[in-house]
Amino acid sequence: MPRLIIEGGHPLRGETEALGAKNAVLPIMAAAILCSGDVLLERVPDISDVRVMAGILTELGVEVEFLGGGRLRLNADRLANTRAPYELVRRMNASFDVAGPLLARFGECEVALPGGCNLGQRRVNLHLDAFRALGAEVHREHGMVKAQATRLRGTSIYFPKVSVGATKNATMAASLAEGETVLENAACEPEIVDLARFLQACGARVEGAGTPRIRVEGVRELRGASHAVTSDRIVTGTILCMTALSGGEVTVRNSPPEHLEAVLGELRKAGQEVRVQGNDVTLSARRPVRSLEVTTAPFPGFPTDLHPPLVALLVLGDGVSMLHETIFDGRFMYVGELVRLGANIRVSDHTAVINGVRFLAGAPVEASDIRAGGALIAAALAAEGETSIGGLEFIDRGYENVHTRLASLGARIRRVE
């Protein structure tokens, strides 16, 4: 199995370009199902989740063509079937994003229930409630969700819990429904805004994306359009934490700071110098790292996906820090691996209590999910000696060519197959 080998103690210096957001491009690829004619996407990151989604769409009969340079062409005019099988869906929870588009455009879908992942159970009850509210017959059997509707009808949907996935699926389904749909308590993440921008470019009538109230006026048809995917705020935030841990200074270009307010605020509170110039964000590492108390929350709160990289930084804090996770139960598997590098962390009741230590020492560790991988790489940059990181199948899902990017910033890092 491939591993990353990192020799710590070398500060990251220089600048790097933000890449397209994984959590925006995946629903937008699924939304291509809604459209007739070609969809052309730019700034598509070269990550394995994009290839998994491309595989699912191909299985459905969507034409998918990687044009190089982050450009991707999709065409759903000859969609062959509306069934997304378990062996594909099980690899990535975002596969469920195809359900709403299939139901809205073809009146039916059969999609495997996402199982669990290392973050815990990944439920889709809010997605199914939204489909039923839009008039679909939905039932579950043998691990598959089957839904059908002659034509979806607009309605009002209140989400009892904020859900990025359910907000995406409901918005996509409502875009071809008859009449108006209002989504209340919708997720406000920038990736929802980017999906709405894409849908609008294709002729959808979507207002209010980015706020808790989204209004969709259904139309008869959507026509494929071009779209440049928004920047990945989670990758940018991870690089900033890596920079702080490494003791360096890095500028991430083309990364809208308004997507990262909570994160930049906490990094400043941790004593790091953060400067913003237009869409370029620069972090200059400072010592001591001040300890923090942080709680994760839906956007604009502190994002759960930056919980592990921030904890990696707080490991070197000047006191006791607390990180309270409110979104995913299983998000703490990375803690044991940080402890192997010398961290002093206790987890109880969805809260990590971090007692700052003076230094970390390299060791072999394993990533258990995408963002755990980001945290372990960050810690390895600060650890004395060599750290070897396994679980690259997770890291490759969300971080494009992380070793070449970090090496270009001065890290001593190599990938051994």
- Beta carbon nearer to ligand EPZ, 238 or 251: 238
CB 223 within 8 A of CB 31: no
Smallest separation, CB 367 to ligand EPZ (Å): 12
- Beta carbon nearer to ligand EPZ, 251 or 304: 304
CB 123 within 8 A of CB 330: no
- Beta carbon nearer to ligand EPZ, 62 or 186: 186
CB-closest chain residue to ligand EPZ: 165
- Beta carbon nearer to ligand EPZ, 21 or 345: 21
Q: List the 180-184 sheet strands across, edge first.
A: 156-158, 180-184, 213-217, 205-207
Smallest separation, CB 123 to ligand EPZ (Å): 4
Smallest separation, CB 131 to ligand EPZ (Å): 11
Give residues with Cβ within 8 angstroms of 34, minimum separation 6: 76, 101, 104, 105, 172, 175, 176, 199, 202, 204, 222
**Closest to 219 (Cα-Cα) out of 181, 170, 188:** 181
- Beta carbon nearer to ligand EPZ, 124 or 411: 124
CB 45 within 8 A of CB 79: no
Looking at residue 293, its amino acid is E
| C-alpha span between 313 and 292 (Å, rounded) | 10
CB 307 within 8 A of CB 325: yes
Task: Give the 3-state secondary structure of residue 135.
Answer: coil
| DSSP labels, 146-191 | EEE-SS-B--EEE-SS--HHHHHHHHHHHTTSBSEEEEES----HH
| C-alpha span between 123 and 137 (Å, rounded) | 19
| C-alpha span between 400 and 342 (Å, rounded) | 28
- Beta carbon nearer to ligand EPZ, 289 or 338: 338
- Helix 164-174 to helix 190-201 angle (10° resolution) is 10
Smallest separation, CB 318 to ligand EPZ (Å): 29
Q: Which residues pair with 388 in a beta bridge?
A: 5, 364
CB 379 within 8 A of CB 245: yes
| C-alpha span between 151 and 165 (Å, rounded) | 22
- Beta carbon nearer to ligand EPZ, 204 or 375: 375
Catalytic residue among 109, 117, 188, 241: 117
- Beta carbon nearer to ligand EPZ, 166 or 267: 166
Q: Residue 117 catalytic?
A: yes
Smallest separation, CB 249 to ligand EPZ (Å): 27
DSSP 90: T
Residues that bind ligand EPZ (CB under 6 A): 22-23, 26, 93-94, 119, 122-127, 161, 163-166, 187, 304-305, 327-328, 370-371, 398
Reading the block at residue 179, the tokens are 């009449």
| DSSP labels, 265-284 | HHHHHTT-EEEEETTEEEEE
CB 202 within 8 A of CB 35: yes
| Residues that are catalytic | 117
